[in-house]
């Protein structure tokens, strides 16, 4: 199964996993580094991809 990628326009995201998939975990805040443009949640391995909405 491929890794879940969540697109966000925020530099700080909250993740508490996915109840439906049984990968829920305590809520954590993840800060995306502007140099990397993404961050992987250390708990459920979701990837948050930073894509600013304004052009």
Site of interaction with Zn ion (CB under 5 A): 15, 17, 41, 43-44, 46
Choose between 26 and 51: whose C-beta lies nearer to Zn ion: 26
**Could you tell me the CA-to-CA distances from 28 to 12, 36, 37, 53, 55 in Å, in that order?**
10, 19, 18, 23, 29
CB 40 within 8 A of CB 46: yes
Of all residues in the shown chain, the one whose CB is closest to Zn ion is 41
In the complex, the smallest distance separating the C-beta of residue 49 from Zn ion, rounded to whole angstroms, is 14
In the complex, the smallest distance separating the C-beta of residue 23 from Zn ion, rounded to whole angstroms, is 7
């Amino acid at each position: 199964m491929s890794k879940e990628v969540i697109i966000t326009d925020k530099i700080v995201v909250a993740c508490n996993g996915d109840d439906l998939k049984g990968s829920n975990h305590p809520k954590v805040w993840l800060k995306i580094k502007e140099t990397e443009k993404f961050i992987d949640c250390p708990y459920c391995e979701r990837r948050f991809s930073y894509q600013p909405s304004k052009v």
